[in-house]
Amino acid sequence: MKSRRLLPGFTDKDSQRAAPVSTDHVAPKPLTIVLVLVVVLVLDLARLTPDGVSCAMPEIAIREFNPEMTDDTAEVLARAFVTNPLNIAVFGVDQVSVNKAFFRGGLRVMRGRKLVALDGARIIGFIHWVTSPRCQLSSLEKLAMLPRMIQEFGIPRSLRISSWLATWSKHDPKDPHCHLGPIGIDPSAQGRGIGQRLMTLYCKDLDRTAISGYLETDRAENAAFYQRFGFEVTDEIPILGVPNFLMRRPAHR
């Protein structure tokens, strides 16, 4: 009598001669091994330079700002702020180039401490703070900037910029403080803790000098972020129809 086939290539006699299969260990399938090796190979290749030399991913470095960084930093700030409600009210929707011109001019006149976050050689973040009363421009300084501002942005936008900055200036605290702003992270680099690192440096400087911190923001979610560093909303004011949150951090003595 012919043997009945149970599986392709096996008969009853074959199954009788086969050793019992242990259930304690199942050997990995060849396909699984291949997939693991492919993943390992891809991860290794991701760490190679074009020359094939293995290298570690660059760490985010914090460096002092210098004037040669002005254009790249203004670009980062423009992309970071272009969707902010106040920037939209002043410059319009998706106006990256106009925002860049605004921040380029601002970087030229900012006093105090300026730091950039670098991913390799690429600027991906910026923070600025300055102690009062140097955080406010004098009337003569503002007057000197007016012709260039009108030439750069036109009269309607210049009037909106003036209204914005004049309102902030009006509410600036009279007592000694260290004014924060702007702080911005390139949208492509957000979510990596860079803003937290920059804020930590600022707060350490506040504690070292035993002075209170102050900032303005037009985003409620940003206010929640700053609260993690000890800031609290002290006032809410409208500027061009946009709510602005004024925040203070007490001096730690």
224 compared with 43, residue with greater pLDDT: 224
Evaluate whether 142 touches 134 at the Cβ level (below 8 Å).
Answer: no
Whether 9 has a pLDDT exceeding 50, the answer reads: no
What are the CB-based long-range contacts (under 8 Å, 24+) for 183-186? 183/125, 183/126, 183/127, 183/128, 184/76, 184/77, 184/80, 184/81, 184/125, 184/126, 185/76, 185/80, 185/117, 185/124, 185/125, 186/76, 186/79, 186/80, 186/123, 186/124, 186/125
Q: Say what percent of the chain tops pLDDT 90.
A: 71
141 compared with 89, residue with greater pLDDT: 89
Identify the residue whose tokens are 């043997």: 3
What would the mean pLDDT of 36-43 be, rounded to a whole number?
A: 46
Tokens standing for residue 228: 């993690």
Enumerate the domain spans of the chain. 5-46, 60-249
Interacting residues of 135 by C-beta distance below 8 A, sequence separation 6+: 111, 112, 172, 179
> How many degrees, rounded to 5, is the angle at CA 14 between CA 12 and CA 18?
120
Q: Band of the pLDDT at 49, cuts 50, 70, 90? A: very low
Cα 166 to Cα 136: distance, rounded to the nearest angstrom: 10
Q: What is the pLDDT of residue 253?
A: 73
Tokens standing for residue 133: 């009363």
Give the strand pairing for 232-239 and 213-217.
unpaired
Q: Which helix (H) or strand (E) holds 220?
A: helix 220-227
Q: What is the pLDDT of residue 33?
A: 54
Phi, psi (5° rounding) for residue 245? -105, 120
Q: Band of the pLDDT at 52, cuts 50, 70, 90? A: very low
Tell me the sheet residues that pair with 127. 115, 183
Alpha carbons within 13 A on the beta-carbon side of 212: 14
Whether 7 has a pLDDT exceeding 60, the answer reads: no
Tell me, what DSSP letter sits at residue 50?
A: T
Whether 24 has a pLDDT exceeding 80, the answer reads: no
Whether 126 has a pLDDT exceeding 70, the answer reads: yes
What would the DSSP string read from start to end of 180-209?
A: EEEEEE-GGGTTSSHHHHHHHHHHHHHHHH
Whether 40 has a pLDDT exceeding 70, the answer reads: no
Interacting residues of 65 by C-beta distance below 8 A, sequence separation 6+: 73, 107, 114, 115, 116, 126
Tokens standing for residue 37: 């090796």
Whether 104 has a pLDDT exceeding 90, the answer reads: yes
Interacting residues of 53 by C-beta distance below 8 A, sequence separation 6+: none
User: Cα 70 from chain centroid?
Assistant: 17
For residue range 141-171, what is the model confidence (pLDDT) as tens digits? 888 899 999 999 999 999 999 999 999 999 9
Cα 107 to Cα 78: distance, rounded to the nearest angstrom: 12
- CATH architecture observed for domain 60-249: 3-Layer(aba) Sandwich (3.40)
What would the mean pLDDT of 12-36 be, rounded to a whole number?
A: 49
Q: What is the pLDDT of residue 1?
A: 43
Q: What is the pLDDT of residue 143?
A: 87
